[in-house]
């Protein structure tokens, strides 16, 4: 095994991969090594689709070609410790010295202490192919699948499994609505109706009390006394950061139990950076601790960390939270704060919603009713967040909203948005959703 690399990255998922590529772009002459446990790493956001649309674990692999193309040495090894004094990491294949170290150790599915959590057929969605293959075996054999947690992963898993012949999929969500971390109720309801119509069973506003069975799981018991038959239970209630390597070498662990970093993604050790699910995050809006874990955030932090290794050029402005979900042609997307979240944070809020076709005239092929909701701070008019509902373009419209928030735009700026439109591609310029929502909000400011 290699004994030294200028830049060593632990972890090969979203944060690690984007850190490796970025490190090379900014450091053409440094040696770079990525150390990860598995030969192959799944594409994290693609995981639900393994069980339906994509069809196999092998078709959802993060390509290693970018590592070769960027001259990054890939070392398959299990890291057992970090020796900060020596500036080395110890692995099951030997010791590797570094000048700069990036931790992209990721996260692990939360397995709550329900009675029966250790039964066979109760699985967490961990980002390694062994686990995902095991889940695949379970899915193929199962008839009644219960997904605990109605976030985007839960909803996407449920829909993929529901599409398979002869299986039932039930989602149990303790909040009053699925997806409520990402969307205001009126958006959640549309997606709930949509997946229900497609055949997914939803149980919302109810807690799980136990997983029942003898050897294998047989049912999920709810606090309302209901008992849902289940031969497979998938936990989709979130993930906890993997931080033992960092903690054991004395790096600080922060309020969300993640590795503490500054705006440059650097830990208290000037030679060690952290990025992705394992790293602490703060809100873009008020700097409060933020527990969001998304591959897109991980890649951003990987790019920030890697660009800053030899001289700071980038700062993390705090996590906005931009993501989307799609089920059978209906896409929902969110950026920044929902109205509910903004109010919880104490903002004086004005929200406005614009709905209409995403083609002009509306008889153009592919027209899909589209809705955009924008949330503004009332006094200054600053954009705090936005939600989009429509077809595939919703996934990019939300990135327009992200750009507007990053650019600190206010409602007047958005009312004056220089939009590009086309009959076959977008809404009419007279009724472009983003602009209309801003105009409607201005009336209430």
What are the distances in angstroms from CA 154 to CA 205, 207, 234, 238? Answer: 15, 15, 8, 10
**Smallest distance from its own copies to CB 6, Å:** 18
Six-digit token string for 266: 């650097």
The residue length of the chain stands at: 445
**Smallest distance from its own copies to CB 440, Å:** 8
Helix H or strand E segment including 222: strand 217-222
**Smallest distance from its own copies to CB 293, Å:** 13
Nearer to its own copies, 46 or 291 (CB): 46
Nearer to its own copies, 166 or 407 (CB): 407
**Smallest distance from its own copies to CB 117, Å:** 29
Print burial letters for 260-275: b (CB count within 10 Å at least 16), e (below 16): bbeebbbbebeebbbb
**Smallest distance from its own copies to CB 92, Å:** 27
Nearer to its own copies, 13 or 88 (CB): 13
Nearer to its own copies, 233 or 398 (CB): 398
**Smallest distance from its own copies to CB 425, Å:** 3
Nearer to its own copies, 256 or 334 (CB): 334
Backbone φ, ψ for residue 193 (5° rounding): -60, -40
Say if CB 26 and CB 307 are below 8 A apart. yes
Which ranges of 243-380 does DSSP label H, i.e. alpha helix? 244-248, 295-307, 339-344
Nearer to its own copies, 320 or 375 (CB): 320
The neighbouring-strand residues paired with 350 are 376
CA 286 to chain CA centroid, nearest Å? 20
Of 262, 271, 270, which is closest to residue 279 (Cα–Cα)? 262
**Smallest distance from its own copies to CB 177, Å:** 20
- Rounded Cα distance between 77 and 37, Å, is 5
Say if CB 276 and CB 243 are below 8 A apart. no
Which residue in this structure is represented by tokens 């150790």?
105
Nearer to its own copies, 153 or 249 (CB): 153
């Amino acid at each position: 095994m290699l004994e030294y690399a200028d830049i060593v990255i632990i972890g090969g998922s979203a944060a690690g991969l984007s850190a490796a590529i970025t490190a090379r772009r900014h450091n053409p002459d440094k040696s770079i090594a990525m150390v990860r446990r598995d030969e192959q790493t799944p594409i994290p956001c693609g995981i639900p689709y393994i069980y339906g649309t994509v069809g196999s674990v092998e078709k959802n692999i993060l390509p290693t070609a970018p590592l070769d193309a960027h001259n990054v040495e890939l070392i398959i090894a299990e890291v057992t410790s970090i020796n900060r004094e020596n500036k080395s990491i110890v692995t099951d294949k030997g010791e590797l010295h570094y000048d700069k170290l990036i931790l992209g150790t990721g996260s692990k599915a939360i397995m709550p202490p329900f009675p029966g959590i250790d039964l066979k057929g109760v699985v967490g969605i961990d980002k390694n192919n062994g686990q995902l293959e095991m889940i695949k075996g379970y899915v193929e054999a199962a008839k009644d699948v219960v997904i605990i947690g109605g976030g985007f992963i839960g909803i996407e898993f449920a829909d993929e499994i529901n599409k398979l012949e002869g299986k039932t999929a039930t989602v149990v969500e303790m909040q009053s609505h699925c997806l409520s971390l990402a969307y205001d109720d009126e958006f959640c309801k549309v997606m709930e109706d949509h997946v229900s119509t497609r055949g997914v069973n939803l149980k919302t506003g109810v807690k799980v009390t136990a997983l029942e069975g003898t050897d294998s799981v047989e049912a999920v018991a709810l606090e309302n006394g209901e008992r849902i038959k289940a031969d497979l239970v998938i936990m989709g209630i979130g993930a906890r950061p993997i931080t033992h390597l960092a903690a054991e070498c004395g790096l600080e662990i922060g309020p969300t139990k993640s590795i503490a970093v500054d705006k440059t993604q650097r830990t208290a050790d000037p030679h060690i950076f952290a990025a992705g699910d394992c790293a602490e995050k703060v809100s873009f809006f008020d700097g409060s601790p933020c527990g969001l874990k998304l591959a897109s955030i991980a890649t951003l932090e990987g790019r920030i960390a890697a660009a800053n290794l030899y001289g700071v050029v980038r700062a993390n402005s705090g996590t906005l939270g931009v993501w989307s979900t799609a089920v059978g042609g209906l896409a929902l997307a969110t950026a920044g704060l929902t109205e509910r979240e903004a109010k919880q944070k104490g903002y004086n809020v004005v929200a406005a919603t614009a709905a209409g076709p995403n083609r002009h005239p509306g008889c153009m092929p592919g027209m899909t009713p589209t809705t955009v909701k924008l949330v503004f701070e009332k006094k200054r008019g600053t954009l705090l967040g936005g939600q989009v509902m429509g077809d595939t373009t919703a996934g990019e419209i939300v990135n327009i909203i992200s750009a507007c928030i990053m650019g600190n735009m206010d409602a007047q700026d958005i009312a004056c948005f220089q939009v590009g439109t086309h009959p076959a591609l977008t809404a009419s310029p007279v009724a472009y959703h983003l602009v209309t929502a801003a105009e409607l909000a201005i009336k209430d400011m």
